[in-house]
Structure 1
């Protein structure tokens, strides 16, 4: 796997299980990258949906991707505090084109007080049926929902108290 350099601007592409492109984030700055982890930062980034609609993110965000866990985490820095949006999805891969992963519908929204809510269970059930998610994938995804909940409760990885602030400071050094 290619490993991007800190400061490099990359695109992030999420796909659905059936291979269809789901969503593209146009520009994220790589802050750290290894074979297993990619940490990126962005602010006011153009996002294109699969139907062509576009929108721009509203606040600075630090993104955490792992090559062994079936989730990624976006820490959004808002005036109301630090919010997290966690996508249940395949481990990431990176090629010459973009960072890529498969989005499996389930999401966890984490609030500044570290309470959280599991979202989109209905969407997951529909897509599981429509796209024939294998039982092994279903089992992995539900297992990783539980791992993610543990990380949130334990303030592990991107949920550690200073994680987003430290990486946001690094991100600011790359802004042009």
Structure 2
């Protein structure tokens, strides 16, 4: 698998299990790009929804994608701290067009004090039935929710105290 080069700008494309495009982030600056990990940053980025609506992100964000984990993590820098939005998703793939993943609806929102909540369980159950998620996939996704929660509790990976701040400082050197 190819890897995006640090300093390059890429698109991020989120799909649903049935192959339909779900959401597209117009531009993200790659801060780290390997075959297994991509760390990117964006601010005031145009986002397109599958229903044709669009919006612009409100704050700087550091995005973490891994080719082995079934989640991705977005750390949003706000005035009152770092908020994390974690998508339970397929591991990412990257081609020359974009970084791509399948969004599986379940999300974990993490607050600056590291409390968290699991979101969209009803949407997950609806899509699991509608798109016939295999039982093994359901197990993989729920195991990864547990793995992600362990990372939050143990302050690992993007939840470690300086992760987002250090990558944001690197992002500022490109601006």
Q: TM-score, normalised by structure 2?
A: 0.99
Secondary structure of 1:104's match?
strand
**Structure 1: gaps (5+ residues):** none
Deviation per residue, 1:67-98 (Å, 9 max, x gap): 00000000000011110000000000000100
In the alignment, what sits opposite 2:24?
24
Give, in whole Å, the separation in 1 of the partners of 2:67 and 2:31: 16
In the alignment, what sits opposite 1:103?
103
Give, in whole Å, the separation in 2 of the partners of 1:20 and 1:165: 34
Shift of 1:3: 1.0
Shift of 1:35: 1.1
Give, in whole Å, the separation in 1 of the partners of 2:174 and 2:123: 37
Give, in whole Å, the separation in 2 of the partners of 1:138 and 1:34: 28
Shift of 1:174: 1.1
Task: Extract structure 1 runs of 4+ deviating beyond 6 A.
Answer: none
Shift of 1:155: 0.4
RMSD: 0.4
Give, in whole Å, the separation in 2 of the partners of 1:35 and 1:160: 22
Q: How many residues end up aligned between the 2 structures?
A: 175
**Structure 2: gaps (5+ residues):** none
Give, in whole Å, the separation in 1 of the partners of 2:28 and 2:4: 12
Give, in whole Å, the separation in 2 of the partners of 1:136 and 1:35: 25
In the alignment, what sits opposite 2:121?
121
Q: TM-score, normalised by structure 1?
A: 0.99
Give, in whole Å, the separation in 2 of the partners of 1:138 and 1:7: 36
